[in-house]
Amino acid sequence: MRFPSTLACLASFVLAACGADDGNEGSGNTSDAGGSGAGPLDTLSSPQANCDALDLAAAPAVPITNAQVTPHPQGGTLVAGIFELASVKLYAQGIPVTGTAQARVEIQPGSASSGAARVALALDGSALGQSITQDVTGAGLYTISGSAMTVAEGCGGSNPLPALTYTASGTSLTLWTEYMITDPVAITIPIELVLAAE
């Protein structure tokens, strides 16, 4: 069954360089051989992804909440900074997911409708009696239209969730997305992540 590793990719939600197997730590968080992707995020005359991984050592372990997810995106102005996970909620069609998650997201707007971002997320939990333990990181460029955000992986990874909706309000950032798994059965899993500025 692929549910646990698929959920780890799900929870990476955006910009993530998910590997094919659990424990594929660091996939997508390095630049190419020439180092062209490793510039600082504030170098946005030609926006580029910063492929240096964010550190989760001090990030809190947040319990996963199993509950109905009802997106209500309002868009808003994204501000520069690092945001830390405050709550995570998902609804896996009655499949209980237990455990904790850590996440940090860095946003560096280049304009009102585009910029660069990085994400690091770690899961430590279980579903259907199987362990979910994985660290994922990624980075890329985003564009915004209304309350919709589209993300292009920029560090060699494979972004499984290139589109999401959001609400940004000062020091708070809420992200909504969903993911479809097909094994063992087809399930669409909505997810909501609430982050607060550090």
Nearest in space to 140 (alpha carbons), one of 49, 27, 18: 49
Please check the confidence at residue 173 and state whether its pLDDT lies above 70. yes
Q: Is 104 helix (H, G, I), strand (E, B) or coil?
A: strand
Percent of residues in the chain assigned helix, strand, coil, to nearest 5:
5, 45, 50
Q: What is the pLDDT of residue 80?
A: 94
Point out which residues pair with 151 in neighbouring strands. 142
Q: Under 8 Å CB-to-CB from 94, ≥6 apart: which residues?
A: none
CATH number, domain containing residue 90: 2.40.128
Q: What is the residue-averaged pLDDT of the chain?
A: 74
Q: How far apart are CA 72 and CA 147, in angstroms?
A: 10
Contact 165, 73 (CB under 8 A): yes
Q: What gap in Å lies between CA 117 and CA 97, rounded to an integer?
A: 28
Rounded Cα distance, 26 and 28, in Å: 6
Whether 16 shows a pLDDT value over 50: the answer reads: no
pLDDT above 70: residue 15: no
Cα 115–Cα 140–Cα 57 angle in degrees, nearest 5: 105
* Total domain count, the chain: 1
Residue 112 confidence (pLDDT): 92
Domain carrying residue 171: 3-197
d(CA 187, CA 192): 16
The first and second tokens of residue 17, run together, are 């360089």
Query: Tens digit of pLDDT for each residue in 37-90?
Result: 444 433 333 345 678 878 898 899 999 999 889 999 999 999 999 999 999 998
Residue keyed to tokens 């600082």: 40
Q: By CB neighbour count within 10 A (0-12 exposed, 13-18 middle, 19+ buried), where does 21 fall? A: exposed
